[in-house]
Copies of this chain bind each other. A is one copy, B any other.
Amino acid sequence: MTAPSPPVNISEEIQAELLQRICFLDYRPGDQLKEAYLAKEFGVSRTPVRDAISRISHLGLVETRNGVGTVVRQLSLTEITHVYNMRLELAPMIGMLNPRQIAPSDRKVCERLLGQAADLNDAFDARGYVQLNHRLHEFIAGLIGNDVLRSFWWQTYYQAASTWYQLAHLQGPKAATALVSELTDIRDALDHNDLCALGYVQRIHIGYGFEQIKTLLF
């Protein structure tokens, strides 16, 4: 049988699951999150579900109104701009604020991601792109040594991901090509043992992404 019940908090699990569904576009802007349905789906009462929704509300991705419900928001261009402007500033900090030592295992993970990106480039599917990009984010976040920066990196990722993945659906295979390019740059930075370079690589590709969002999505 599977694990009967993990020791971690139920609320945190649901929180992570909801966030992932939102930024993976399983829930699209305008969709409603009904506590009762989610409670039944997860096999719990409304209490942990409410807690999870409450804790993600500060990201601005959902809006809860009394008597109506909780709906997934589409961030406005202004909001997206604020998020991306911040991510452009955060990226170089990866290599500067309390940098972590790069381990051989990091390089191996990067190589594997690069291989998966190459596969995706040959046979593109949007879902696979979203999942791979998510794993890349997890990888980068794991390299961040400053706790606060890592937290902010995650927060802005969640805020940007939904919009970014909308664009990926429009772009199709081109998105995978860009991902291969980004991962190649990242691998080179790791090979040079240069976390600062990695930060700038992130900044560069975030900039590219933002340009396309402004051009194609708004």
Interface residues of A (CB under 8 A from B): 11, 50-51, 54-55, 58, 60, 79, 81-83, 85-86, 89, 93, 97-98, 146-149, 151-152, 156, 159
Contact = CB atoms under 8 A, between A and B. Distances in A.
9 contacts: A54-B54, A55-B55, A55-B58, A79-B147, A82-B146, A85-B98, A85-B146, A86-B149, A89-B89
Helix, strand, loop or mixed for chain A's interface? helix
Contact of A86 (B11, B81, B85, B146): B146
Copies of this chain held together in the complex: 2
Contacts of A156: 148
Contacts of A85: 97-98, 146, 148
Contact of A152 (B11, B97, B152): B152
Contacts of A60: 147
A85 to B, nearest CB: 5
